[in-house]
Amino acid sequence: LEEAFLPQAVPADASIKCTKEHLAKFASFMDVTHPFPVQRQLWPDHACLFNTKNFDLDSHVSQRASYPDRLLGIWRRLRGY
């Protein structure tokens, strides 16, 4: 507690560097030219840390599923399926 401190107040002359144009570009993450989909296309077809070889991309993954199955569901959503 002796080294606890409050954050410094934001100076009155601080300026915001984000513009509406930047926000619009950031919000369009489903656009094929956005950096996230571009990088996602470079990902391999199958995960490298767990087995996805026999995973049906159209299957439903329950919230009560085992951890490996939920992990496959997260992987599928990040891949854009």
Residue 81 has pLDDT above 70, yes or no: no
Q: Please report the pLDDT score of residue 1 as a whole number.
A: 57
pLDDT in tens, 31-41: 888 888 888 88
- From 76, 78, 49, 43, select the one nearest 60 (Cα to Cα): 76
Can you tell me the distance from the alpha carbon of 77 to that of 73, in angstroms, rounded to the nearest whole number? Answer: 6
